[in-house]
Amino acid sequence: MAQPIRQLTRNNHSQERESIPFTVINRKEKFGKVLYEKRHYEKGKWACVKVQEDQYEQSVCLGFMKIMRYICEQNSSGLYLGMTVPIVTIIHIGRSASDITRFVTVAYYLPGGLQDQPPDPNDPDIVIEEWPPAMVYARGFRGVTNEDSIAREINLLAELLESPELCLQDTFIIAGYTNPTAAIRQNEIWFLERP
């Protein structure tokens, strides 16, 4: 299991990690700094695990470890599958951005060579899903991902968007490019455009 965690932690060795393919539709910048991007993601297969623990961070960590075991040979092929980034966490909120539920879905995009025939997970909690194409508004941020930081990032991106009402209001995605236990994390908040 150390191999994908090392790859997820190494920011300078992107050749060892496959990025989820997307197309940038447009970008909003201010003083040369990217505020957010509008991206199109094609349909793709993901290994997903739904988790609910006592605390949000516990849910994310447990889901991440289950996905790492799937990547690291606990699958029907018995092989290391290769690391893709980001690992995403689907979160749901209640009536306000600060009301984040502990029930999350942690998902791993299967590498391009495995999209047609993904190996089956040994863990019955992990399900292979095909996600439809999606339009996403993405804003990068650094640091921990907890209820407070996520609520802050949701509010920041909502303020920047010209028409936030065009996006889902109760479901958001945290995209993690670094190990969730790392001290300095590279993340994005994603808003999903309504179909």
60 C-beta neighbours (distance < 10 Å), count: 23
- pLDDT tens string 15-39: 478 999 999 999 999 999 999 999 9
8 Å CB contact between 70 and 45 = no
Separation CA 67–CA 186 (nearest Å): 19
- 81-117 b/e (C-beta count within 10 Å ≥ 16 → b): bbbbbbbbbbbebeeebeebebebbbbbbbbeebeee
Task: Answer yes or no: is pLDDT of 148 > 70.
Answer: yes
8 Å CB contact between 107 and 87 = yes
Residue 170: give its domain's CATH number.
Answer: 3.20.80.10
Separation CA 121–CA 118 (nearest Å): 9
Give how many domains the chain has, as a whole number.
1
pTM for this prediction: 0.89
3-class SS of residue 124: coil
- pLDDT tens string 58-76: 899 899 999 999 999 999 9
Domain that includes residue 146, residue range: 2-193
59 C-beta neighbours (distance < 10 Å), count: 22
Task: Answer yes or no: is pLDDT of 163 > 80.
Answer: yes
Task: Answer yes or no: is pLDDT of 9 > 60.
Answer: no
The identity of residue 131, as a single letter, is W
According to DSSP H, which parts of the chain are helical?
A: 2-9, 56-71, 147-160
Q: Which of 94, 93, 89, 85 is nearest to 144 (CA)?
A: 89
Separation CA 77–CA 65 (nearest Å): 19
